[in-house]
Every structure is written in C-alpha cells, then in structure tokens.
Structure 1
Amino acid sequence: MSDPGPIDLPPLVINPYEKQVFGPTNGGGYEDFSKSQEWLRIGSAIRNDLITRFPPLLNQAINLQETEYSGKLQSITGRVEGVLATARSARAPNSADAVQNLSREVSIREVLIDQKTAKAQAQKNVADSFYHADFFSRPVFDFFKYSASRLSSPDENYRKWQISLEAAYRTKLINNEISYLNNQLAQIKPLLEREKAKQTSEWATIAAWAQRYNARKYPIVNQYNLNKANVEQNVQSRLDVASADIPTIVVTPADWVNKSIQVVTQLLSQERNELAAQNAILAGYPGLDFKNRDLKAFLERSRDNHLDPEVAFE
C-alpha cells in the first residue's frame, strides 16, 4: 500500500487554463511584417513561401501545444501527488512524531522544487534559443523577421522555432508544478512551526516533571542503597533497641536465649507488619514493577489511563 502522507491539506485551486499570449499583443499580425526591411530584403519566392505556407503551420503548432498544455494543467494535481508519493516511499515511513513527519514533507517538496527549478531553467534556455529572448515575449510574426534575417532555410528555421515553442510550454508547465508545490509549502510550514512550538512546550513540561520525579526518586533510591549496604549493622542496631525495651532479667544462659528469641520475634513481627503495609500499597498497582519503571513509563501510564499526573505523582 502506498504511503498517503501524514497530513491532509485542503485542495489547492488550480488557476484555470488561459490561452497563451505571444508578445505585447495577441501574437498574430503577420501583415505587420510586410513593410519591414528584413521582409523586403529577401526574394519574392521565399516571401511567398513564408507567407503562404507557414502561417497555418505556426498556428497548428501553437494550437497543438495549447491543447496538450491545457490537458496537463488539469491533471497537475494527480501528477505532482504521484511524484510526491514516490519520493515519500523512498524515505523513512511515518512515525508518531508529527514534527518529523512534517519536516519530511517540507524536505520532499523543497528537493522537488530545486529539481524542477533546474529543469525549468534548462527548458527555458532551449525555449529562448530561437529569438535569444523570452519566447513568449515575441509575437508570432517575429518568426518571419528572424527567418528573413538568417541564412538557414525556412524549413530549418521552422524546425528550430518549433523546438523552442515546445520547450516554452514545457517551461510553463514546470513552473505551474513549482507553484503548486510552493503553495503546499505555504500550508505545511505553519503546521510545522505550530508542532515545533507544541513539542517545545511538551518537552519543557517533561523536563519539569523529570526534575520533580528525580528529586523525589533519588533520595529514596539512595537511602535504599545505603540501608542495603549496612543491613547487618542496621538490624543489629534495631535488635539492641528492642532488647533495651524488654525488661527481662538475664541470669542464666537460658534467660539470655529466651530474651534473644523474644527480641527477634518482636522485631520480625514489626518487619512483617511494615512489609504487609507496603504490599497493600503496591496492590493498588497490579503488574507494575516500580523499581524498573522510569519517568517515561510514569507519564505514559498517566496519559493512557487518563490520570492527573499531579495526583498520580503523589
């Protein structure tokens, strides 16, 4: 299954097709060239050939490019989205991190824009090669002016003109695709900035919780490790305290043994009562191993069980 991407963007409005205008006016005007010096300089046979044979050829070539461009303009969304899907599939799949996903979407489009910009420039160089100027800035009848001033045959000039014509329309379509991608970037980048701000806020909250969590946890852990290291000394100290509290007179060895048993029994009872009390607390959290849980686990449990972290923390 193809990767649909992590975001749903509102549909972009594609500018409706408009017929290309050549030159400062509407392009045609072959009669405007009849009094030019270039036109009068060439032989009548070539003039007749140019004015008779080539206007229909020029119009036919332009109409063909207009038809192809119009169709491709209507399918620009599907075409660009297909390229995006291919580029997306070559990268890491979506993650739970919205910032990472949105950054990927921005990067994919920026790379495509760079590629298409270079491609558009290469096509424009071809498009501008016939007139040595922007192709669409020249009216159609300028073909006759340039044909009359060149040594190449009219057919060879027409072939070169047609190459530039096709490249000009390709440039135009690529620029439409670049505009489509730029419009998407204009939608995605604010989403990315909002997610970054949200993530920064969340990390600040986590950092504050980490400070509180560690401030409470580490003294408990440190005290446990200290008690564990001195368990024999601590037990003996408690035995001494318990022994002092039992007013038994020791005269014989048997008296000493009986008192020792009494002291140990009393201390053992206290420890069991304390253990039972702690187990009763832990019983409220079945399946949790608190010694092997960290801050992440605490926050995830609060989130997944819809707990108030403040209450859960206490």
Structure 2
Amino acid sequence: MNGLSIRELCGLFCCPPCPSRIAAKLAFLPPEPTYALLPDPDPSTGAATAPGSVSGATQPSLGAPGLRSRVGTERAEFQYSQRELDLTDVFLTRSSRGNMVGCMYIRCAPNARFTVLFSHGNAVDLGQMSSFYIGLGTRINCNIFSYDYSGYGVSTGKPSEKNLYADIDAAWHALRSRYGISPENIILYGQSIGTVPTVDLASRFECAAVVLHSPLTSGMRVAFPDTKKTYCFDAFPNIEKVSKIPSPVLIIHGTEDEVIDFSHGLALFERCPKAVEPLWVEGAGHNDIELYSQYLERLRRFINQDLAAQHA
C-alpha cells in the first residue's frame, strides 16, 4: 500500500496543475534580491574585469565586494574588512538553459585543500549567505564557492527543477575552469532544497565528498508524507539518485525538523552505499542545526579524518 487513497491518486494523475509544479511552487520562494552587481569602479586598471569582481572595490556591503546592498547597511550582519573584500570574487556565468547565474568565490583559507560548492536553502540569496560562508569556511579550513538559483539574487530566469540542475552545472564548470579546481578537491554541500541539485550533480560526477544538510527524499514525499514510491511525475527525486553517488556522503538532519521530516534523512542514509556516520542533531529543527556545537565538530572530522582515510 502506498499510503494514498484512490481519490488522492486520481486527483494527482488527472487534475492540473501537475504535482511537480505544485512541489516547485512549494519549494521555490526567492526573496527580494538583497544585493545588486556593481561594475569595477577603477577604470585605471585598463582591464575589462568581470562585473562584480573584487578589483577596485572600495566599500564593504551586505553580500560581497562588487555587490551593493539593496536593504541598507543597517541590515548587514557585520561590516566586512578589506581583507574579506579582497578574498571574494563575484561574477556571472551562463547556464546551458540560457540564464545568467550569479556566483561567489570566497578564499576563506588560501592554503586549503578543499573547496566547498555550496547550494543554499530556500528563501535566501548570496547577499544573505555570504557572512555565513566566511565564518564556515574559516572554521572548517575550506574555500567556499556558491551560486544563486535562477530567479534568485542577480540570477536571471525563473526557478524550476530543470533550471536548478542547469544552475549547479554552470557553477561546477565555472569553479573548475575559472579557478582550476579539480573534482577530487571539491566537496558538494547542499542544504534543504539545495540538496536537490547537489544529489543530481553528485550522481553524475565524482568529487571529493558530499554533504546533505536537512535533505528531502522527493517533492511528493514532502507534500504527502505517506508516499512510499516514486511516481513518474514526482519532483526532486533524491531518493532515486542518492544510490548512484560514488563519493563519500555525510548526511546531517535535525530530529525535530518541522519542514522536512527527520525520516527523509534516515531514508536517504539507508539508500546511500557510500554514506559515512551521519549526524542526527537531537532537538534541532530545519534552520538551527548550525547553532549546535556538534555541527562544526562533525564537519571537521568528516574533512580531516573520514576523507583523509578515503584518500590514504
């Protein structure tokens, strides 16, 4: 028994809009952009630098150098130092579906072995995440590369499942070609809806490792918790792709997650052949796992011990 009534199944199969569109509407909540790209303000360089590049940036702002806050400096979490500005690049790259994708690369640890390709959660953009990235990268001794989904921040187009996959592909290729980062030095990190493009990419390309933070099994299983199988129209089918990931996978989930139930993390762990010891954070919800001390402790151990053992 799949847990859905005959009436519910008939409604899902026969009544528009289709469930994948419903799931997409539930999943994508892009905020009003918190930043805008600035051109290089220093014409004396004589070089055509990318819009939003660090070169010539003169003032800290919410987001990153080359980004102007649209919400005012009083909303910034902290003022960036000149060093932080100098270590951050922002630029646009084009996806295979024709959208311009906003990207951010932060050299948090210049001598770091690994770079984290971070796919953020819902209802935020790079402007809101940048200070978290600086703190995270510094604490786990990794550089951070992130991007905004189509329709988020300065990225063009509209959010959709297909665009999500094209967006992370564009970010992956930009990280590799622009900065010369090899796959064996890239850790794919997805949070919440960001686990969808992360799992998809990780199932197609080998990398150093994968982190799935508050992951979902599929759109239908979020909307209809009793769903036990994957239908052809289901959106975001992580549960069908996670078994194809050839890299080590760390799954992190709060036991009191009110948005994506803890059972999703458990189900993915059981289906993932390369899963390492997971982190189940007792009492944590969907948006507060980072506040628990075991979060950073487990990430450090994953990078410094689990991955070291894998590459020994």
TM-score (structure 2 length as normaliser): 0.20
TM-score, structure 1 as length reference: 0.20
Structure index of larger Rg: 1
Which structure has more relative contact order (CA 8 Å, sep 6+)? It is: 1
- Normalized per residue, the structure richer in helix is 1
